[in-house]
Chain A
């Protein structure tokens, strides 16, 4: 395992994912690669004024939530 992967696993351990790292380290490395490939596939052409799809709306707050 290269040092970058070791660092990644160390960070995950410190974030509370000890059991996951202990048992599934290979799956973790594969998932990291998948996340990176998704990031690369995304178009990257946002204007600074572009808003995300779920901007805050008071209407949502004035209704009940599932809980």
Chain B
């Protein structure tokens, strides 16, 4: 089998289960790919090939014994380096946690291990999931495989870079203000922030308790649904997970099509509240046309201005983040990157009244989004307002990062998925978001899959120079 590194999770899983692909052979191919590319992409903070090979041999035994096989059995994956893996450093890409060895697994780590997945290592991020691409940290910033002079989005930057470059078929990121969906859009892959409470955050270094989500990142929609199948569910160790949630097979309705679905398009987010670059704007509008062509109705809708969602998200996030960072901020402020230090700092000036009022506003904004689902099955809008900029231009990074419409669904807690649409004239990925009702990730995937069949961007691969 050629080009094992471009197999989708699904293709690899089918091949492994039919005996035509050995997990060991597959893992070796990805180890080789990583050794070749990671010196350019810096996607990994800690690469663990020995452990991966040991896990691959165990997966091979499971296949031979034909017991407890899941779609993840023998599939390599990576974890953003804020997710605990027992006995391995969990650094948050920070000098402050360089020697932080995890004492136990995060709940999602346990789930992936028990499903037979193969951990390849811990992936780079923006420090503590809040900074930007930084050059003043112990580890270099991850780079965009489509052009290594550009950033890969963040904060789950290494996850985006590793999946898009074929070093991994699947990775987990986290998303507090768009940190799964930003690298997904920037790197041209699929990133899902499921419903708040769908996936456990236990054992994940928090940024903002009430906004944080763990999410799957893959090259195809089907792979994303398979990875969500492996990590979703109630967890007694995370009181924010929903105990009564039904756990469907998220791949079940992928091929159902979008005919008859009603989609609300929030266009004012990217044409009025913020002005997306022309190519991004056209990409989103073309995606809406694709859905119409496939039989869905797409109707423009209006909600509160984007700034209400983004300011509400920022006030809650700054306040909750400072409660975690306060001690280090007093004792070791110089150990943060400049980007992280300045992004945390507004929390010092947000008072209790601001925070409580932001939480009250959040209730209203979430209800406003939720009310749209009385008339629509799905909502679509922009993810980023432009393609990823150069990584070595901190002013441009700082200007463009907040130009996004992802915080809307962190505030509301609805599931939202970034779907790639193609490349800009500069050869960098573009994309859009689809969101759905609470705990209805299946319909989001259904629409995303239909779009992907019409526009199979995942078949294009970056030439990494």
Contact indicator per residue, chain B 390-422, by CB within 8 Å of chain A (1) or not (0): 000000000000000000000000000000000
Which residue from B318, B342, B350, B363 sits with its C-beta under 8 Å from A52? B363
Residue ID in chain A nearest B331 by CB atoms = A19
Given contacts A43-B304, A51-B360, contact A28 B348 (CB under 8 A): yes
Q: Does B333 contact A (CB under 8 A)?
A: yes
Contact indicator per residue, chain B 335-360, by CB within 8 Å of chain A (1) or not (0): 00010011001111110001011111
Which residue from B239, B330, B354, B356 sits with its C-beta under 8 Å from A19? B330
Contact present for B239 and A64 (CB under 8 Å): yes
Q: Does A42 contact B (CB under 8 A)?
A: yes
Question: B239 contacts which chain A residues (CB < 8 A)?
Answer: 59-61, 63-65
A23, B332: Cα distance in complex, Å: 11
Question: A42 contacts which chain B residues (CB < 8 A)?
Answer: 308, 311-312, 315, 354, 357-358, 361
Q: Does A3 contact B (CB under 8 A)?
A: no
Interface residues in A, total, Cβ within 8 A: 34
Contact present for B341 and A43 (CB under 8 Å): no
Residue ID in chain B nearest A18 by CB atoms = B330
Question: A60 contacts which chain B residues (CB < 8 A)?
Answer: 239-240
Question: A28 contacts which chain B residues (CB < 8 A)?
Answer: 345, 348
Contact present for B360 and A50 (CB under 8 Å): yes
Question: A16 contacts which chain B residues (CB < 8 A)?
Answer: 330
A20, B243: Cα distance in complex, Å: 43
Contact present for B308 and A30 (CB under 8 Å): no
Given contacts A52-B363, A63-B239, contact A20 B314 (CB under 8 A): no
Question: B354 contacts which chain A residues (CB < 8 A)?
Answer: 35, 39, 42
**Distance of A33 from chain B, by nearest CB (Å):** 9
Q: Does B25 contact A (CB under 8 A)?
A: no
Question: A52 contacts which chain B residues (CB < 8 A)?
Answer: 356, 359-360, 362-363
Which residue from A38, A46, A61 sits with its C-beta under 8 Å from B346? A38
Question: A38 contacts which chain B residues (CB < 8 A)?
Answer: 311, 314-315, 346, 350
Contact indicator per residue, chain B 310-340, by CB within 8 Å of chain A (1) or not (0): 1110110010000000000111111000100
Question: B329 contacts which chain A residues (CB < 8 A)?
Answer: 17, 20
Question: A36 contacts which chain B residues (CB < 8 A)?
Answer: 349
Contact present for B333 and A43 (CB under 8 Å): no
Residue ID in chain B nearest A12 by CB atoms = B348
**Distance of A14 from chain B, by nearest CB (Å):** 12
Q: Does B210 contact A (CB under 8 A)?
A: yes
Contact present for A53 and B237 (CB under 8 Å): no
Contact present for B237 and A31 (CB under 8 Å): no
Q: Does B78 contact A (CB under 8 A)?
A: no
Contact present for B333 and A24 (CB under 8 Å): yes
A52, B315: Cα distance in complex, Å: 13
Contact present for A64 and B364 (CB under 8 Å): no
A35, B317: Cα distance in complex, Å: 12
Residue ID in chain B nearest A62 by CB atoms = B239
Contact indicator per residue, chain A 4-36, by CB within 8 Å of chain B (1) or not (0): 000000001000110110011001101110111
Q: Does B307 contact A (CB under 8 A)?
A: yes
A60, B364: Cα distance in complex, Å: 22
A60, B341: Cα distance in complex, Å: 32
**Distance of A5 from chain B, by nearest CB (Å):** 12
Given contacts A19-B334, A27-B342, A42-B315, contact A64 B359 (CB under 8 A): no
Question: B342 contacts which chain A residues (CB < 8 A)?
Answer: 27, 30-31
Residue ID in chain B nearest A11 by CB atoms = B348
Residue ID in chain B nearest A32 by CB atoms = B349
Which residue from A23, A30, A54, A66 sits with its C-beta under 8 Å from B333? A23
- 15 A-B contact pairs sorted by A residue (CB < 8 Å): A16-B330, A19-B330, A20-B330, A31-B346, A35-B354, A39-B350, A42-B311, A42-B315, A42-B354, A50-B364, A52-B362, A53-B210, A53-B362, A59-B239, A65-B239
